[in-house]
């Protein structure tokens, strides 16, 4: 749409800027402040320079948490995006079942995150949980509170359960926006389903899939509540993702300096990767 140049449009934006700045800038400055100082309590602060940043960037603990985080985010993206797309393609386009499908599929998205964690904890317990018990009955030695592999399995399945619907709903929205005429043209040409997918559906879905990947990337990178309720980061440190590690340092040990430095590094990583996605997305759009 052509837009008019109008500087007073700023007045429309002021309430939003004021509220978000209050919530974002002040806490961010607090974090920056802590990250360059050392404290021994009693509000005594000493200048620490970039020491905390060096400490965090060089610590094996941070590398390990970051590694686990990347593994987690990578795995769930590889599962959720293709799976969500496949389900959206198989969904009915018209009729009474559409609403039923949409409502039932959206349900996991609206459950408080700690309830998701608690629900999966109960569901996967090896003695009284449906999933854990069934797996043990059919011969697997499954115990997610003891074995790191099982904890990871449960964590991944939980996230797939929780968030695949987001990809489904986005892809579905993209699919229903394709005009019927495209399909009719393909039919006249005698196109196979695979060709229809490759040449009609996929190009139209590019945009929504980018949004889906961006949202899933950001949210999975920030995940805290669900794994903290499900496994608490354990067994050992096996499922200690970045946020969990951060909260352990900040609120558990009250090491404000290192926690603040870690917060900033963490935020910058999310920001940088999201910026790359965002730029690619916008460039794509400009081309079309």
Applying CB under 8 A, does 139 fall inside the site for other proteins?
A: no
> Which residues in 146-165 contact other proteins (CB under 8 A)?
161, 164-165
Residue 154 CA to residue 192 CA, distance in Å, equals: 38
Burial of 281 (0-12, 13-18, 19+ CB in 10 A): middle
Contact 251, 234 (CB under 8 A): no
Closest separation in Å from C-beta 1 to other proteins: 6
End-to-end CA gap in the chain: 14
Residue in 52, 123, 142, 152 binding other proteins, rule: CB under 8 A: 123
Span interacting with other proteins, options 19-27, 37-45, 51-59, 74-82, rule CB under 8 A? 19-27
Residue in 85, 208, 230, 261 binding other proteins, rule: CB under 8 A: 208
Applying CB under 8 A, does 280 fall inside the site for other proteins?
A: no
Residue 183 CA to residue 191 CA, distance in Å, equals: 9
Question: Which sign, positive or negative, has the C-alpha torsion 181, 185, 190, 195?
Answer: negative
Applying CB under 8 A, does 242 fall inside the site for other proteins?
A: yes
Closest separation in Å from C-beta 72 to other proteins: 14
Applying CB under 8 A, does 266 fall inside the site for other proteins?
A: yes
Whether a cis peptide bond, with omega within 30° of 0, leads into 38 is: no
Applying CB under 8 A, does 259 fall inside the site for other proteins?
A: yes
Span interacting with other proteins, options 36-44, 50-58, 74-82, 214-222, rule CB under 8 A? 214-222
Closest separation in Å from C-beta 156 to other proteins: 14
Sheet strands (E) in 14-115: 37-39, 45-47
What residues have CB less than 8 Å from 202, skipping those under 6 apart? none
Applying CB under 8 A, does 58 fall inside the site for other proteins?
A: no
Residue in 46, 110, 181, 194 binding other proteins, rule: CB under 8 A: 110
Applying CB under 8 A, does 70 fall inside the site for other proteins?
A: no
> Which residues in 24-43 contact other proteins (CB under 8 A)?
24, 26-28, 30-31
Residue 266 CA to residue 274 CA, distance in Å, equals: 12
Closest separation in Å from C-beta 224 to other proteins: 5
Applying CB under 8 A, does 246 fall inside the site for other proteins?
A: yes
Applying CB under 8 A, does 133 fall inside the site for other proteins?
A: yes
Applying CB under 8 A, does 145 fall inside the site for other proteins?
A: no
Sheet strands (E) in 35-133: 37-39, 45-47
- 101 token code pair: 């499908």
Applying CB under 8 A, does 140 fall inside the site for other proteins?
A: no
Residue in 64, 173, 195, 202 binding other proteins, rule: CB under 8 A: 173
- Give the binding-site size for other proteins (rule: CB under 8 A): 95
DSSP symbols for 177-188:
TS-HHHHHHHHH
The DSSP output letter for 199 is: I
């Amino acid at each position: 749409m052509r837009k008019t140049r109008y500087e007073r449009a700023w007045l429309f934006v002021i309430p939003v800027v004021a509220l978000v700045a209050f919530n974002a800038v002040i806490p961010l400055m607090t974090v920056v402040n802590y990250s360059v100082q050392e404290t021994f309590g009693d509000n005594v602060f000493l200048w620490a320079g970039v020491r905390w940043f060096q400490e965090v960037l060089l610590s094996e603990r941070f590398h390990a948490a970051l590694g686990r985080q990347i593994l987690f985010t990578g795995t769930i993206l590889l599962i959720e995006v293709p799976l969500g797309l496949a389900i959206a393609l198989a969904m009915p386009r018209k009729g009474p079942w559409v609403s039923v499908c949409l409502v039932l599929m959206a349900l996991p998205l609206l459950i408080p995150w700690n309830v998701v964690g608690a629900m999966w904890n109960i569901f996967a317990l090896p003695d009284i949980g449906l999933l854990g018990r069934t797996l043990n009955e059919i011969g697997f030695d499954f115990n997610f509170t003891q074995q790191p592999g099982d904890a990871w399995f449960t964590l991944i399945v939980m996230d797939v359960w929780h968030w695949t619907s987001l990809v489904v709903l986005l892809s579905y929205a993209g699919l229903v926006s394709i005009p019927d005429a495209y399909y009719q043209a393909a039919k006249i040409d005698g196109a196979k389903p695979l060709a229809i997918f490759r040449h009609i559906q996929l190009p139209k879905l590019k945009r929504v899939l980018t949004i889906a990947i961006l949202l899933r990337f950001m949210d999975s990178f920030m995940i805290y509540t669900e794994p903290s309720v499900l496994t608490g980061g354990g067994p050992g440190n096996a499922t200690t993702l970045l946020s969990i590690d951060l909260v352990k340092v900040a609120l558990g040990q009250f090491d404000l300096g290192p926690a603040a430095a870690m917060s900033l590094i963490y935020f910058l990583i999310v920001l940088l990767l999201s910026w790359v996605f965002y730029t690619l997305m916008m460039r794509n759009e400009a081309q079309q």
